[in-house]
Amino acid sequence: MSSLDFEALKTEFIQKLSQLTKEADVLNLKADYLGKSGIITELLKKMKDLSPEDRKTVGPKANELKDIVNLEVQKKIDLLEVEAINQKLAENRIDISYTENLKVNSNSHGGYHPRTLVQQEIEDIFLSMGFDVLDGPHIENEFTNFEALNIPGDHPARDMQDTFWFHDEKSPVGKKHLLRTHTSTIQVRGMLSRKPPFKFIAPGVVFRCERTDASHEMVFTQLEGMMVDENISVSHLIYFMKTILKEIFKRDVEVRLRPGFFPFVEPGFELDIRCLICEGKGCSVCKHIGWVELLPCGMVHPNVLKAGGIDPEKYNGFAFGLGLDRLVMMKYGIDDIRHLQSADLRFNTQFKTY
Ligand code: DAH
């Protein structure tokens, strides 16, 4: 057996391999050489009949050919795989420069959420009256959400707002974290970051751990307002509240003011509006009393001013916490607050489109 036989075998194998286009055929060819009774296998079996001299040259040559077959077969299989992928890509090519190929229904437009529309409208009204618009974090500490607002740890008013707390055993008292229960937190942040006189509003989402129904959600929005200056009185408060409601509803809305208790204001009020859903007849939104609590407000408590670094002997002010979602419901005649968070496009797209 000469070394030329091996060269011929190798050439023949490479030539056969190059003509194949299917993986199965490649594997069959491999079996012809390396299978149980394949050409190379047979050669190796016959080694024992060779002279020691021939064995020395034939052995390495046979093994080398075996390695070449294995390597070339693997290379061929890889190549066929790449070719198959390329072919698929070519067949399924999507030209995204044609919008038709994106299968977009070009007739559908996004819309503003009704809450966004009302919020923008209120912001514009307040901006025109010289108010700033502030923002604050959703995760707050106990100081900002409660203590600075005249609600110390043992105060029963904490029960008015069911709170989502973060469990952190290591937190010192007063530094525990929570999801803010109201936007009044921004009163504190606003006071601490500016000097009087000032006036600002702060719209935002708030969180309460409570049962949901037509008029209650765990996640809802409020719009806080605060004005601090010298000689601010209840009449300033009433003026601003009436103006804003008239602007929003574009008509005179029946309102009533009654005493209300909130630790951060003194005196405190509840401003109710006649339910616009049922015109005062009674429905699930107004809990069948014909009035909707919309605007709790009052004169800022001296303790709150002090916590905000403001001298209560010199300055005073008013604050309010508008229930933004309720206002949205009144304005658009929405009878269930849960629609607002539903993310249901059938609901969302009914309002102004872009
Ligand atoms: N933070 C109160 C709440 O969520 C609402 C509120 C009441 C805000 C009176 C005020 C206010 O600024 O003066 O229930």
Which residue, by CA, sits nearest to atom 5 of ligand 1? 321
Q: In terms of residue numbers, what domain contains 172?
A: 114-348
Does the bond joining 197 to the residue before it have cis omega, within 30 degrees of 0? yes
| pLDDT (average), residues 77-98 | 85
Give tens-digit pLDDT for 218-269: 999 999 999 999 999 999 998 888 888 888 888 778 888 899 999 999 999 9
Q: Is 185 in the pocket of ligand 1 (CB under 6 A)?
A: no
Residue to substitute in 208, 241, 244, 264 for testing ligand 1 pocket (most ligand atoms within 8 angstroms of CB): 264
235 and 135: one domain?
yes
Q: What is the number of structural domains in the chain?
A: 2
43 and 140: one domain?
no
Q: Which atom of ligand 1 is nearest to the CA of 161?
A: 14
Q: Which atom of ligand 1 is nearest to the CA of 226?
A: 12
121 and 262: one domain?
yes
59 and 143: one domain?
no
pLDDT at residue 3 tops 60: no
Q: Which atom of ligand 1 is nearest to the CA of 206?
A: 4
Q: pTM of the full predicted structure?
A: 0.67
The domain spanning residue 171 has which CATH number?
Answer: 3.30.930.10
216 contacts 340 by C-beta, under 8 angstroms:
no
Ligand 1 center from residue 339 Cα (angstroms): 24
pLDDT for position 276: 79
Ligand 1 center from residue 273 Cα (angstroms): 16
Average pLDDT in the chain: 88
pLDDT at residue 173 tops 70: no
Taking CA atoms, 334 is separated from 33, 47, 285, 327, in Å, by 79, 92, 9, 10
Distance between CA atoms of residues 297 and 294, nearest Å: 10
pLDDT for position 73: 95
Ligand 1 center from residue 100 Cα (angstroms): 52
